[in-house]
Amino acid sequence: MFTFSCPVSFSITCSSSNGNIQNHGDYRVNINVNGSSCTRRPIKHHTLLNEVGVKEGSTSLSAIQFLENGHISEEKIRQRIPRQKQLVDPYRQGLITERGVGYRQTVVVRSYEVGPDKTATLESLLNLFQETALNHVWMSGLLSNGFGATHGMMRNNLIWVVSRMHVQVDHYPIWGEVIEIDTWVGASGKNGMRRDWVIRSQASGSTYARATSTWVMMNEQTRRLSKIPDEVRDEISPWFIQKQAINEAVPDKIVKLDDKAKHVNSDLKPKRSDLDMNQHVNNVKYVRWMLETIPDKFLERHQLSSIILEYRRECGSSEVVQSLCQPDEDESFANGVQQNLLTNKVLVGGNGRLGSLDINVLTYGYTHLLQTQNEEIVRGRTRWNRKICTGL
């Protein structure tokens, strides 16, 4: 057991039994992580409470969460969620861009984010997209204590759910590489929000990946989709930008697979570690289930260049999921054609780069479906290029 101790200065006013107002002055709060003890002594520092939204000398405690014993929430102090817009975040290497409404974060690709070839995995890229999106909301000053939810959303019991995601990857970052991730939001119809990302190499400025997504609101209690309330629209609309990372004039629809799909995995069960803060399976886990159904030999020789996901419903922790995937054309023919191209042309690449040919290399595709008891969860489409390495 250990004690989390930090200086917190605030002015408390409370009502006594006879109705008189008493001011107890400034205090330092030492909070034990397990909540078993709390001690106070006078202090005159005001920094930390200002960060969580309480002005110096304030007698209002509305901005502070309290435990049942009346003390300041240790969670609130540890998170330090800003109540006002921040321009720079030194802890996350982030800053506000796009004339005050976009966000850029500098990231070093870590060892646990890469695969055997030392390049970042698709799951790692998707996790980075999610993290930078949350950090964008964090710096906006709109973040409540929900999973990316604003204050207005929390008052209306609303959460964000993704309905569509499209990712295009030209190059995969490598272990230890420094990359920059830009993200911004825009309107999507009357009741949706679009969020886009671009990943660039800090060293060369080359664009590695682009992504666009569509988000809608769900009532956390009823689990039904909801319109955007006016107060929430007023919060988020000043941050909207009219530009797209991927131009999708008319998005293609993904066909639904049936039980005749070539590859099927019928025994996928969510683990507790697969659940996010909204108590449903995180969308990144769906991608893992899709890719694991593709034959290993294909994955060894090919690298994903794009993925489109259409989310139909959420998945709970007790459900059994079936993953189906169907190749778009005959696998042996496609691989044979690509092999001939590779042996007769000069290749350039390696270290995570797809490389280049003096002719167009054929791409290969799969259609995917995740379902539970014949009820759709996610439809997907993946496109692949053959891996190219300098050894060839």
Q: pLDDT, tens digit, for every residue of 97-133? A: 999 999 999 999 999 999 998 999 999 999 999 999 9
Region(s) of the chain under CATH 3.10.129.10: 78-251, 254-330+362-391
> Mean per-residue pLDDT for 344-370?
58
What are the b/e assignments for 236-275, b being 16+ CB within 10 Å? beebeeeeebbeeeeeeebeebeeebeeebeebebeeebb
From the candidates 46, 283, 302, 315, which is the catalytic residue?
315
Query: Which pLDDT score, from 0 to 100, does residue 13 have?
Result: 41
Q: Nearest to residue 269, comparing CAs of 248, 285, 287? A: 285
Per-residue CA distances from 8 to 32, 240, 274 (Å): 14, 36, 36
Check if 280 is active-site.
yes
Q: Is residue 263 among the annotated active site residues?
A: no
Q: Which CATH number is correct for 254-330+362-391, 2.40.50.500, 3.40.50.10860, 3.10.129.10, 3.30.565.10? A: 3.10.129.10
State mean pLDDT over 304-331: 88
**Given the residues 46, 280, 302, 368, the one annotated as active site:** 280
Query: What is the dihedral sign for C-alpha 130, 132, 136, 139?
Result: positive
Set 127, 145, 278, 335: catalytic member: 278
Inter-residue contact 210 to 168 (CB < 8 Å) = yes
315 is catalytic: yes
Summarize the confidence of residues 40-64 as an average pLDDT. 43
CATH architecture of 78-251: Roll (3.10)
User: Is residue 71 very low, low, confident or very high in pLDDT (cuts 50, 70, 90)?
Assistant: low
